[in-house]
Structure 1
Amino acid sequence: MSKIASAVALMKEHKYEEAARLFNDYIEENPADPLGFINFGNLLLHLGDMDHAKSFFEKALSLDEKSATAYYGLGNLYYELEDYPKSQQNFLHAIKNGLEEADVFFMLGMSHQNQQQFKLALPYLLRAKELSPEDEEVLFQYGLALAQSELLGDAKEVFHTVLNINSEHCDALYNLGVISLFEEDVIKALEYFNQALENEPTHVLAANGKRIAEEALNSKETGM
């Protein structure tokens, strides 16, 4: 096993100091290879050392200006810093330079989502869904972007797909409840909110949705 692979395995075991030593050894032995800098940058990012992580990613790009994974690392760094325009820019560079994985499209979509650019998020979240069709978080965020773009029929279909994967997904249930309220199907909305609360009794949004649905039902019954 190479030093890079060994260090990555150590990271997965939370043995960060040992992983750092191996990455450092690899860099000293291969100072012109951006791979060592990218992986060390990922470790530093994971540990929250943003300044040093940024330096390592930028060093990797100085060695290879077309390194897609270095751009991806910088994108994640800026995303963590909530600098979404910069994260978006770096994820785009990663894709332009050949990175074709669900994660980069998902993170680019989420960068748009966090800027309230719901319709701009859609094509990237759709591509992430195409690449990772069983990932419930990807599916949920795609459904949410559809709902926020007022494409409620499409959103409803995606949220049901999420529930096919995880029948206890409280946020999918909650959002189906909200869509049912928009469709004026108050009884169905109440069912979804109750299901969400059965799975997660502290789900504040579902509790609020349930209150609204119950008030709407009471108004109908009293003729008010």
Structure 2
Amino acid sequence: MLRVHGLLLLVVSSLICSCSFDKDAREQMVDLQQVKDDPEAQLVNLNAAIEQTGSDGSLYARRAVVLLRKGELRQALQDANKAVKLTRDEPSSLFVKAQVLRTMGKPEEALPLALQAERNSYQSSSLYVLLGDLYLQRRDYKQALTYLNKAQELSPDDEFAFYYKGRVLETTGDSARAMYNYRNALEQAPSFVEAKRELSGLLLARNEIPAAKPYLASAMQVAPADALLWYYKGLLYKAEQKPDSALQAFNQAISLNDTIQGAHYWLGLQQHSIGNNEAAIVHLQKAAPGYKRKPKYLSTLASAYERSGQYGMAMATYQRILEVEPTYTYAYQAISRIKSKLVKPKPDSTVVQQVQIEEL
């Protein structure tokens, strides 16, 4: 199954709320525990506390957490930088900054900070989950599992550890164990949208349609703008033989996220089937990373090139089919046909030149 690793949303607040600061810092945060689910109220308290002290790095770290929950990433990074500076690289401040950078889509900058927090003796299941996620993004699956196992040693019921372990196992082809971990994540957190999404995708891939439907429906109620959920809904409609609804879902998926290769693949096949070859080529080219070794994909793309008169591209694509599947006899026929088109005699340029000279 395709995964859009740079576009997956981590529920940051659940990961970072376990950040611990020294007892004195906690005592300065008057009333924050009572309003912990109200970011605006937290922000009012933190702004007042920072105005009074000005140099307490833990306050900036806490405000960075609140700003991160609100999605105000630039301001969160400013506070995280201030926290790191004032606390002299205190590990929990490094962890908060790493979380901000990861959420900003800068995993390469986040990883050294998270590792430094670990070296500075910061032990937290949330830190290990973060490291597991960062190594997953680097495709270092062995190291990712090492950290996720560490997270579970500290917190056996951590839903995020289960979830990211599922992601690693799914990516490495162990779908059965991946589903086991997604289900464990949902046992700990029944509203965990991403776990429902991934589980529904795996069930659809195994053609377990009735089992996938409730997970998909529940996730879409909470996250109706999640592009990957729309892609899975399209697959569900295809399985239920509702082609028009499937195409609408695939179009909705790419309107939300144009990088979903599976949606482009199915839309490309559909556009080719109705003779809209230019549109088919656009969709199929965007699907290339995930489908470039599939004969059905290559033959459709080659046909679209040939129909639109792009014989060189068609020839190259048919040749790629034979690299993938040497027994694909239609590709040999197509190559022969295109060669005959390419070697048709062209008008003699000397004759044209002669006529032009005589006219002068």
The TM-score, its normalising length taken from structure 2, stands at: 0.47
- Give unmatched runs, 5+ long, in structure 1: 29-35, 216-224
| Shift in Å, 1:193 | 2.1
User: What is the rounded CA distance, in whole Å, between the counterparts of 1:3 and 1:131 in structure 2?
Assistant: 24
User: What is the rounded CA distance, in whole Å, between the counterparts of 1:163 and 1:50 in structure 2?
Assistant: 29
- Give unmatched runs, 5+ long, in structure 2: 1-22, 242-360
- Is contact 1:3-1:26 (8 Å) kept? no
What SS does structure 1 have at the residue aligned with 2:123?
Answer: coil
Among 110, 113, 118, the alignment partner of 2:133 is 110
1:190 partnered with 2:209:
yes
- CA gap of 1:58–1:173, structure 2 versus 1, over 3 A, is closer
1:145 partnered with 2:168:
yes
1:40 partnered with 2:60:
yes
Deviations 1:97-156 (A, max 9, x none): 111111111112222334454444222223223333323333122212210121223213
- Is contact 1:102-1:132 (8 Å) kept? yes
Residues 89-128 of structure 1: pairs in structure 2 closer than 5 A: 89-128=112-151
- Is contact 2:102-2:110 (8 Å) kept? yes
Higher deviation after alignment, 200-209 or 151-160: 200-209
User: What is the rounded CA distance, in whole Å, between the counterparts of 2:135 and 2:30 in structure 1?
Assistant: 30
Task: In structure 1, give the amino acid aligned to 2:182.
Answer: F
1:73 partnered with 2:73:
no
What SS does structure 2 have at the residue aligned with 1:105?
Answer: helix
1:5 partnered with 2:27:
yes
User: What is the rounded CA distance, in whole Å, between the counterparts of 1:42 and 1:196 in structure 2?
Assistant: 34
User: What is the rounded CA distance, in whole Å, between the counterparts of 2:149 and 2:110 in structure 1?
Assistant: 19
Task: In structure 2, give the amino acid aligned to 1:195.
Answer: P
User: What is the rounded CA distance, in whole Å, between the counterparts of 2:30 and 2:135 in structure 1?
Assistant: 30
Residues 179-218 of structure 1: pairs in structure 2 closer than 5 A: 181=206, 186=207, 189-200=208-219, 203-214=229-240
- Is contact 2:91-2:120 (8 Å) kept? yes
- CA gap of 1:76–1:200, structure 2 versus 1, over 3 A, is closer
- CA gap of 1:136–1:26, structure 2 versus 1, over 3 A, is same
Aligned identity (percent) is 16
Structure number with greater Rg is 2
* Equivalent residue, structure 1, for 2:180: 157
* Equivalent residue, structure 2, for 1:59: 85
1:136 partnered with 2:159:
yes
Aligned length: 198
What SS does structure 1 have at the residue aligned with 2:121?
Answer: coil
User: What is the rounded CA distance, in whole Å, between the counterparts of 2:118 and 2:140 in structure 1?
Assistant: 19
User: What is the rounded CA distance, in whole Å, between the counterparts of 1:193 and 1:5 in structure 2?
Assistant: 47
User: What is the rounded CA distance, in whole Å, between the counterparts of 1:127 and 1:175 in structure 2?
Assistant: 27
Among 92, 95, 106, the alignment partner of 1:83 is 106
- CA gap of 1:209–1:20, structure 2 versus 1, over 3 A, is same
CA-atom RMSD in angstroms: 3.1
* Equivalent residue, structure 2, for 1:170: 196
- Is contact 2:49-2:59 (8 Å) kept? no
- CA gap of 1:70–1:173, structure 2 versus 1, over 3 A, is closer
| Shift in Å, 1:198 | 4.2
- CA gap of 1:191–1:162, structure 2 versus 1, over 3 A, is farther
- Is contact 1:143-1:155 (8 Å) kept? yes
| Shift in Å, 1:25 | 3.2
Higher deviation after alignment, 52-61 or 90-99: 52-61
Task: In structure 2, give the amino acid aligned to 1:110.
Answer: D
* Equivalent residue, structure 2, for 1:220: none
- Is contact 1:102-1:131 (8 Å) kept? yes
- CA gap of 1:209–1:125, structure 2 versus 1, over 3 A, is farther
- CA gap of 1:3–1:117, structure 2 versus 1, over 3 A, is closer
- CA gap of 1:176–1:163, structure 2 versus 1, over 3 A, is farther
